Homo-oligomer: A and B are copies of this chain.
Amino acid sequence: MDVNLNLDTQVVPITLFVAVLCLCLVIGHLLDENRWVNESITAIIIGCVVGTIILIISNWKSSHFLRFDEQLFFIYLLPPIIFNAGFQVKKKKFFQNFLPIMLFGVTGVFISTSIVAAGCWWVFPKFGLKGLTISEYLSLGTIFSSTDTVCTLQVLHQDETPLLYSLVFGEGVVNDATSVVLFNAVQKINADTLGGKAALRILLDFLYLFSTSTILGVTAGLLTSYILRGLGIGRHSSVREIALMILIAYLSYMLAELLELSGILTVFFAGVLMSHYAWHNVTESSRITTKHTFAAMSFIAETFIFLYVGMDALDYEQWKMSILSFWASIGMYSSVMLLILVGRAAFVFPLSVISNYMNRVGDGSSKITAKHQVVIWWAGLMRGAVSVALAFKQFTLSGVTLDPIDATMITTTIVVVLFSTIVFGFLTKPLISYLLPPNTSNIDRTRSLKEDMTLPLLSFEESASEKSI
């Protein structure tokens, strides 16, 4: 249709982006067996390569064809990822370990944010970077406290180390929500109001957002179950069931955003409730479909984000704008990485001790051993999509910034995300095999358990494939 072929429309960038996404998917599959690489790393590296090509073609003008808009991220990409996390979470394990998960995911973010914010405040001026406000330092604290645990989850075995898996997964989700809520809470802070009263206000704001968002999510989940069950929608078509689950989940997220609550928490709890109650009220085909569709949507959104981060890393303009010398920049990146390492260690080890102390009456199955503590600490060192999105929200206006300090903050975030994802990510598999040598007889159980929905169907598949087509 030639009418669409104005190069200023969205057709060209969307086509290119979808093509690169396909490429990521196929290469990610080919590298699946690789010891060092995971999907995030693949996407980031492909993003870098594509960014380089575009940079050369466009004569060093731009490295990407879509402007990053944090609205795009918060409205379209984040909801499916978080909803899927809630939908796939093992609810029993999650609620069994609710206390340590909350300790790590909520208290931990507060501790890490304080340390990173204070550290930046102390160290940035030494590299010649001045002019950030208290609120911006606190924002940086939350930006660098939001973890990305995808990489570690890919190498942990859910049935060999169920406690560890559940802790890392649970913390990852709660951490995402907490850092976004806290990020919004610290926006209102300024130097004059800082003090005990302001800290109390942040805390109250946080508790209010946390509880109301949870209630909204739970309500959305229960409402869906009620509609699915009460109206018996599945009697007539699975399509309506699936459409309804997707739409109500998305509605709850948008409604939370509209009411100035945390959409992440809401959609997470909507996912948990839907998988618990709605799941029992839908047809078998809807169960299989929703499970895989939500996972596929989340997978595409995640790949999309890492791809973008890779491309954005080569944004030439941003780098030119930075006011720091090469060595000052290196110094600043290293300091931030160090602060992340320290900030995370400062809560993982003490909070593990507290968690073990509270669980001392049990049979020891929920004790967090020293090796597990190291794995938990390591699992949360990667920084990902949420960090980038928050940084863009804080330091750009719809993805564009003209201020050198803001540009420096964006490049710092991207360097930290790239470095932590690639370097720490590369080291994760070897580290975990060293700390937790796999029980060889069990090594393939995760994969078979992952497919436990489909395996019993495989025998049926052969005989039915003729009929059903």
Contacts and interface: CB of A to CB of B under 8 A. Distances in A.
A159 B32 CA distance: 45
Pick from A236, A257, A283 the residue with the most CB of B within 10 Å. A257
Contacts of A284: 454, 457-458, 460-461
Contacts of A300: 243, 246-247
A257 B11 contact: yes
A371 interface: no
A293 interface: yes
13 contacts: A3-B187, A11-B254, A18-B247, A29-B231, A236-B447, A285-B292, A285-B453, A288-B289, A289-B292, A289-B296, A292-B293, A293-B296, A456-B464
Interface stretch (A20-28, A331-339, A343-351, A404-412): A20-28
- Shortest beta-carbon contacts, A-B, top 10: A15-B254, A285-B454, A284-B461, A289-B292, A284-B457, A242-B296, A2-B260, A239-B295, A18-B251, A289-B289
Summarize A's interface: helix, strand, loop or mixed: helix
B258 A11 contact: yes
A365 interface: no
A41 interface: no
Interface in A165-218: 180, 184, 187
Nearest to A250: B18
Interface string A291-303: 1110110011000
A454 B283 contact: yes
Given A286-B292, A299-B243, A184 B22 contact: no
B258 A15 contact: yes
Copies of this polypeptide in the complex: 2
Contacts of A30: 231
B4 A293 contact: no
Interface in A221-279: 227, 231, 233, 236-240, 242-244, 246-248, 250-251, 254-255, 257-258, 260-263, 275, 279
A8 B32 CA distance: 44
A236 B28 CA distance: 11
A12 interface: yes
A240 B11 contact: no
Given A5-B258, A284-B461, 6 more contacts: A1-B260, A4-B71, A10-B75, A11-B254, A29-B231, A452-B467
A469 interface: yes
Q: What range describes how many residues of A lie at the interface?
A: 35 or more
B231 A18 contact: no
A250 B25 CA distance: 15
Nearest to A181: B1
Contact of A296 (B2, B243, B460): B243
A342 interface: no
Contacts of A5: 257-258, 260
Nearest to A14: B254
A32 B12 CA distance: 41
A393 interface: yes
Nearest to A223: B22
A244 B4 contact: no
B452 A11 contact: no
Nearest to A74: B4
A29 B231 CA distance: 8
Contacts of A242: 292-293, 296
A19 interface: yes
Given A30-B231, A292-B289, A467-B452, A187 B243 contact: no
Contacts of A280: 465
Contacts of A457: 284-285, 457, 460
Nearest to A5: B260
Contacts of A288: 285, 288-289
